[in-house]
Amino acid sequence: MAPAQNEPTRPHSPSYDLTGKRVVVVGGKTGIGLGIAQAAHAAGASVTVASRRSAPAADHPELTPFEQITLDISDEEAVRAAFETIGSLDHLLVVAGPTDGSWGAFMDKDMRGVRSYADSKFLGSWACARYAHPRLAADGSITFLTGGIAARSKFGMTAVTSTFAAVEALARSLALELGPIRVNAIRPGFIDTDLWNFLSKTDAADVREKVRANFPARRIGRPADVGHAAVFLMTNPYVTGTVLEVSGGEQLVDWQF
């Protein structure tokens, strides 16, 4: 087919290179977000990490390569001010979300748990996209972070399942609304971060063994696995409105932890 008017005639060969790009990872000081920040930095980007904690690089050498911003995503005014300070950017990744188990159950005596969870994870993702959008490059991208529980509910986790599903719907809807900026979500499986520290050593070892025995990839995920996927979504110019699962094949097998 002949190229349409204004369409580049040169063959386009996407690469994983982020040299000269500015990447902002909200929730990028620990865990999966840090894995994404490190992968983006290794691909050549200058990276800003944002979250509530202030983590002096002297005490956190892993954060030395990054510019740091302090930000609570459940505070819209703080999000607006943070993106005003950040200025122009190429890629936004919103990884942050409560990981302290405070989302509550469906029949709790009130709805404080789910309100606060959705306020942070869903509306926080919305707010970051909302205030970053006017400053995003036209060939840039937004990537949200959900989890396997979006696709497979777990008893007592209705707030998380519903919120993650809403974030994935947000990605699809914004892909349509903000194009040509690309918008996607990554849905990780069981990734080795401090989120799992609530498990006893014995339970953690048990989960690892179950994952090794059952998951097609035969191991627990690492933040770097998600980082690699995030660099793909930032650099591929034609993927938008998708949910990319990075789970070692978790959804293909029957397993419970």
Taking CB under 6 A as the rule, which mask of x and - marks residues 63-82 in contact with ligand NAP? --------xxxx--------
Token pair listed for 99 = 């990981």
Q: Which helix (H) or strand (E) holds 204?
A: helix 201-214
Is 97 an interacting residue with respect to ligand NAP (CB under 6 A)?
yes
Is 248 an interacting residue with respect to ligand NAP (CB under 6 A)?
no
243-246 sheet: strands from edge to edge: 67-70, 46-51, 22-26, 89-94, 136-145, 182-188, 243-246
Least Å distance, CB 47 to ligand NAP, is 14
| Residue 118 · residue 163 · CB < 8 Å | yes
Residue number with the smallest Cβ distance to ligand NAP: 31
Stretch that binds ligand NAP, among 47-55, 177-185, 201-209, 229-237 (CB under 6 A): 47-55
Least Å distance, CB 19 to ligand NAP, is 26
Is 120 an interacting residue with respect to ligand NAP (CB under 6 A)?
yes
Least Å distance, CB 247 to ligand NAP, is 9
Neighbours of 24 (CB within 10 A): 29
Backbone angles phi, psi at 209, to 5 degrees: -65, -40
d(CA 133, CA 141): 9
C-alpha distance from residue 35 to each of 44, 198, 211 (Å): 15, 21, 21
Is 103 an interacting residue with respect to ligand NAP (CB under 6 A)?
no
Stretch that binds ligand NAP, among 28-36, 58-66, 105-113, 234-242 (CB under 6 A): 28-36
Chain residues binding ligand NAP by CB under 6 A are 27, 29-33, 51-53, 71-74, 95-99, 120, 124, 145, 147, 188, 190-191, 193-195
